[in-house]
Structure 1
Amino acid sequence: MFTGFKKMAALGGVLGGLWFAASPASAADSVPLLAQAAPVIQAPVADPAPPAGPDATQPPMQQAAAAPAPVRMALLLPNRGGMFGAAADAVRTGFLTAYSRQKDNIQLAIIETGDSVPDMQRAYDDASARFDILIGPLSRSAVTAVAQSGRVTKPTIALAQPDLPGETEAQLPPMMLTVGLSIDDEARQVANWVEKEKAPGKIFAIATPVAWQKRAARSFQARARQLGLQAETLELSTPGNALSAPGLAQLAKRIEQEKPALIFAALDASQVVQLRSAVGTELPIYGTSQINPFTLSRDNPNDKLPELEGVRLIDIPWQLEPDNVAVSRYPRPAGNENDRPNPDLARLYALGIDAYRIAHEIAQRRSGFDLDGVTGRLNVNMIGGGATYFQRQETQAVFQNGLPVPTADQY
């Protein structure tokens, strides 16, 4: 029933580390990209529209003052041929989609870099000397290096979270925002949701040895305990691509004996199907966006997961809310007819849209603002010389008739 979703799981983990097995068929088909040249590309996407014709009654000095200098913006992404090529292409296409609808005196350049941290750091340092706002890097390791370099002097919108051990609090430079989609943040939001449900009893947080799943379970447990909830992390082994049958049997026995209030599943969709088959349908299960293997681009009415009926999760509006005003104003990226839409690439396309919208607000010198974004409700604060703040609130959903549907009550 879910062999197709197992294949998609190999492309997942974008929230945990940005790795893919294939690039999108050409998401860029729907948005024109500029010709680019190696090794590092400085590609002005478009010049700003010229100002309206001068007023003959206005003195020359006043005419010149009426045309403000354009804001120079640089999008730094790994090159398309590298290991992050598919992710970079999705972000680039979403970014340019948003840019094409809201240019407002912005000059945009796309800079392609190598995959290594030193390559990215050199490109960042060079761009910082010549641009007003920088968007990137995209990988966790590169964001960590830039954040710790001591050389962030321009507004910088990082597209991933820094790679820090455990629950270490990120100490970001004053001019840096990290807006990347984060499995850790999702897990903490699920803990907040669970706390509001007020279900009494212990919570089991289930993960496997996969890095992003361990991080999600750890983040959920830490936040749950802060909220006064009792949470225990349990790790299941994964021989092959399936959850361990003996491990599932042992888990089912513990559930029968200890009667936990609910399960937080730091798992993907196919693994939750296996979990459900082992422990039954009575125990509530909550999870992250990785439980949603669908995109709104699907056109196969049989593409459903009835085995997950009642499972709760959070995901971005781009994946759940076609009627959301922010979502409906942007086109879906073009793809290959024969390829199943990849939900992680769809999320990165949406991240590109919101990254540009945040950069645009900063270009208008707005230091604090809220956005109804395609990746969630965004609250941003970037005060020169002071602390930065970024928060994303994603959408709560529950599986109904085999598909995730937003819940009526959103916290």
Structure 2
Amino acid sequence: MEFRKAYLAALLAVTVVAGCSTSPSSKTRVYETPVVAAPDGLTETPPALTAARSQLASMDADERIASTLSWASSYLNEKQAADASQLLSDLNPEKLNSEQRFAWLLLSGRAQLSQQQTEKTLSLLQQHQEEILQYPAEQQAQLDLLRADALAMKGELLSSLQQRIAAHPLLGDEDQDYNHNMTWQLLMQMPNTELDEAIDSSSGDLRGWLTLAQLYRDPIADLDAQITRLNQWSNQWRSHPAIDNVPQMLDALEKAASQRPSQVAILLPTSGPLKNAGAALQEGIMTAFYQQQKSGHTPTLRFYDSGSDDVLAVYQQAITDGADFILGPLSKDNVATIASQGTLPVTTMALNYIETDNRPDNFFQFGLAPEDEARQIANHAARNGALQAGVLYPEGEWAARVANAFANRWQELGGSVTITRTYQEGPSIGETVKEMLLVSQSQQRGNAVSRFTSLKMDNQPRRRQDMDFLFLLADPNQGRQVKPALNFHYAKNLPVYSTSLIYSGEEDPRRDQDLNGIRFVDMPWILTDDNQALHEAANEQWPDGHGRYERLFAMGIDTYRLQGRLYLLNALSSSELPGVTGRLHMKNQRIVRELNWAVFSSGKAKTLPQTTEAAQNIPRAITSQ
């Protein structure tokens, strides 16, 4: 995890650690002169909290304060946020001078946020609010940014935006870069209805940000209309903080408009084992197509059956018929066949993922890869400070592939997998869970100790303690067996994360009570009704929905959207598309989805507040040069 070098660098790295009298560079400068004098010969940060406390106990007051602040900063940089919090709690803020109290307050807040303790951070700031109001404006702005981060992590996106925009003019250059990026990320996550309501009640720079996000986020709008609106925005908001970014956005949109296809060939199976999946995708594509027809330019669409054995012949026929953009094919084998052809005659976006290092420059991939969901869960758990994971998945090649995707990403992030188990659906699940949790061993150890001591022992069985959470791969029926077994075997409070496989997409409170507490990722189309016009159009045409193919129907909507904006995502690395299957961005010619989070509560899937990854990469302000 990469942490931002920012406003405490000067205080902690220069004045606290070095005791130097020179000013830090203008990029990271917070204070003109040293504010905390560090003792000569300050030792390196002890790797363990116990060692740090032992050394601090032998220091005089000034040395102990300086060392505590410096070492807490180092612990945050090393992702030891809990140690940083405990070290800072040993200081009495009433014994600190103003600059030391500012450092203590900012470090304490960052340490709490890195442990997802948003309420503690907000309470800390509120508790010291009167004192904060006496700080110089620059320091107040930095603490406002801390508050904004806490609000973003809590899911209060509009409140976070208000704090950020108010503090922005007083921040240093690097803090402004971070704040600018966070503002845009929050705007990309804000639900459409909330965005519209916020515009009506806002003014000043906030209104400028909100209207810019609204016009950028409209993926159904005609590109020419978006360009016109963006030019109008630029004329209206000439002094807005985002104005410097608009030319790059305009340039990308103009090039996307100039390169948009006029005839799109769509290769989907209308025969063979994937025909139902192909039908759901086609219906999603046409739903989005009809919606865009209402607002502007649409390409000609031609559908081809890719269910035959000779996908190359189908592909060539589409080219012969005049296609200048191809969507599909769907099956992995067909995707691999197209990708192996070298340079392709037209831009092609396959509707599945394959692993290949030799892809053509104009070959892109989009799909609903469960491996991506598994990797997102690993990212989330790491940001929450977890270190040890358990993995439980059903027997089979497909499940093993998803479990491996999670484990590989988790280990890349520095985590460890302490236990991996497979299960078979049926009565044996309970025994598998019990064995995985080492409950029998805890009972045996307790009985053994009781036989050889006269002490009264607590023989209550316990689960293993070397597991911060469980990555569970299960469908609803499997999950309804696994979670009760976890609860029964003393793991009721063990966090359980799962992919969208765990949710059928349809409310079933009576049966899904057994899934209570499981957190999972899923697409906005399933969890929210924020895309109201599309939902209404879909419900009108297909009132019974698409059952288990509903997610593929949603993929069809985003598939159509992407054909007009693929250039934008590819050319502008910071761009993303708020799609119905997730927030979409491009990485190595591959569309990557970031999904929403939900939790089962009272048998229903309850959407959790949406927070950005950047908002959770919290001890960014504490590192030194």
| TM score, norm. by length of structure 2 | 0.48
Which residue is 1:312 aligned to?
A: 519
Equivalent residue in structure 1 for 2:559, among 345, 355, 380: 355
Question: Aligned in 2, Cα 1:302/1:207: closer, same or farther, shift over 3 Å?
Answer: closer
Confirm or deny: 8 A CA contact 1:395 1:410 kept in the other structure: no
Give the Å deviation of 1:363. Answer: 8.2
Give the Å deviation of 1:170. Answer: 5.2
Question: Aligned in 2, Cα 1:365/1:250: closer, same or farther, shift over 3 Å?
Answer: closer
Which residue is 1:113 aligned to?
A: 306
Q: Which amino acid aligns with 1:73?
A: V
Give the Å deviation of 1:336. Answer: 7.8
Which segment drifts farther, 68-77 or 388-397? Answer: 68-77
Give the Å deviation of 1:259. Answer: 4.0
Write the distance in 1 (CA, Å) between the matches of 2:302 and 2:593: 27
Give the Å deviation of 1:142. Answer: 1.3
Question: Aligned in 2, Cα 1:362/1:216: closer, same or farther, shift over 3 Å?
Answer: closer
Kindly indicate whether residue 438 of structure 2 is the aligned counterpart of residue 250 of structure 1.
no
Which residue is 1:124 aligned to?
A: 315
Equivalent residue in structure 1 for 2:379, among 189, 192, 195: 192
SS in 1 for 2:326: strand
Write the distance in 1 (CA, Å) between the matches of 2:586 and 2:536: 22
Question: Aligned in 2, Cα 1:108/1:332: closer, same or farther, shift over 3 Å?
Answer: same
SS in 2 for 1:260: coil
Confirm or deny: 8 A CA contact 1:125 1:151 kept in the other structure: no
Question: Aligned in 2, Cα 1:127/1:243: closer, same or farther, shift over 3 Å?
Answer: farther
Equivalent residue in structure 1 for 2:274, among 84, 87, 96: 84
Note the 1:205-284 alignment, pairs <5 A: 205-232=391-418, 234-238=420-424, 244-253=429-438, 256-280=463-487, 281-284=492-495
Give the Å deviation of 1:246. Answer: 3.4
Q: Which amino acid aligns with 2:547?
A: N
Kindly indicate whether residue 604 of structure 2 is the aligned counterpart of residue 403 of structure 1.
yes
Question: Aligned in 2, Cα 1:251/1:70: closer, same or farther, shift over 3 Å?
Answer: closer
**Equivalent residue pairs, number:** 323
Give the Å deviation of 1:245. Answer: 4.3
Question: Aligned in 2, Cα 1:324/1:96: closer, same or farther, shift over 3 Å?
Answer: closer
Question: Aligned in 2, Cα 1:226/1:139: closer, same or farther, shift over 3 Å?
Answer: same
SS in 2 for 1:350: helix
Give the Å deviation of 1:283. Answer: 0.9
Note the 1:5-404 alignment, pairs <5 A: 71-79=262-270, 81-103=271-293, 104-116=297-309, 119-129=310-320, 130-162=322-354, 164=355, 171-200=358-387, 202-232=388-418, 234-238=420-424, 244-253=429-438, 256-280=463-487, 281-295=492-506, 302=509, 305-324=512-531, 328=535, 330-332=537-539, 342-343=547-548, 345-362=549-566, 367-368=571-572, 369-380=575-586, 388-404=589-605
Q: Which amino acid aligns with 2:596?
A: T
Write the distance in 1 (CA, Å) between the matches of 2:261 and 2:422: 54
Write the distance in 1 (CA, Å) between the matches of 2:280 and 2:364: 20
Write the distance in 2 (CA, Å) between the matches of 1:176 and 1:404: 37
Q: Which runs of 5+ in 2 are unaligned?
A: 1-258, 440-461, 613-625
Which residue is 1:12 aligned to?
A: none
Question: Aligned in 2, Cα 1:199/1:87: closer, same or farther, shift over 3 Å?
Answer: same
SS in 1 for 2:349: strand
Give the Å deviation of 1:89. Answer: 0.5
Write the distance in 1 (CA, Å) between the matches of 2:540 and 2:424: 34
Q: Between Structure 1 and Structure 2, which shows a larger proportion of helix residues?
A: 2
Give the Å deviation of 1:248. Answer: 2.8
Give the Å deviation of 1:125. Answer: 2.9
Q: Which amino acid aligns with 2:499?
A: T
Question: Aligned in 2, Cα 1:170/1:408: closer, same or farther, shift over 3 Å?
Answer: farther
Question: Aligned in 2, Cα 1:314/1:399: closer, same or farther, shift over 3 Å?
Answer: same
SS in 1 for 2:382: helix
**1:306-353 alpha-carbon deviations (Å, 9 max, x no partner):** 11112111000011011356864652475586xx9624x000000000
**1:78-111 alpha-carbon deviations (Å, 9 max, x no partner):** 12x4210110000000001111122414111011
Write the distance in 2 (CA, Å) between the matches of 1:321 and 1:84: 27
Which residue is 1:31 aligned to?
A: none
Write the distance in 2 (CA, Å) between the matches of 1:82 and 1:242: 35
SS in 2 for 1:249: helix
Write the distance in 1 (CA, Å) between the matches of 2:569 and 2:373: 29
| TM score, norm. by length of structure 1 | 0.71
Give the Å deviation of 1:126. Answer: 2.7
Confirm or deny: 8 A CA contact 1:71 1:363 kept in the other structure: no
| RMSD, matched Cα | 2.9
Q: Between Structure 1 and Structure 2, which shows a larger proportion of strand residues?
A: 1
Give the Å deviation of 1:379. Answer: 1.6
SS in 2 for 1:199: coil
**1:193-241 alpha-carbon deviations (Å, 9 max, x no partner):** 11111134x21111122222111110111111111111246232316x6
Write the distance in 2 (CA, Å) between the matches of 1:70 and 1:341: 29
Write the distance in 2 (CA, Å) between the matches of 1:126 and 1:233: 51
Write the distance in 2 (CA, Å) between the matches of 1:406 and 1:155: 37
| Rg larger in structure | 2
Confirm or deny: 8 A CA contact 1:272 1:291 kept in the other structure: yes
Confirm or deny: 8 A CA contact 1:243 1:274 kept in the other structure: no
SS in 1 for 2:392: strand
Q: Which runs of 5+ in 1 are unaligned?
A: 1-67, 382-386
Write the distance in 1 (CA, Å) between the matches of 2:524 and 2:262: 29
Write the distance in 1 (CA, Å) between the matches of 2:505 and 2:261: 40
Question: Aligned in 2, Cα 1:272/1:108: closer, same or farther, shift over 3 Å?
Answer: same
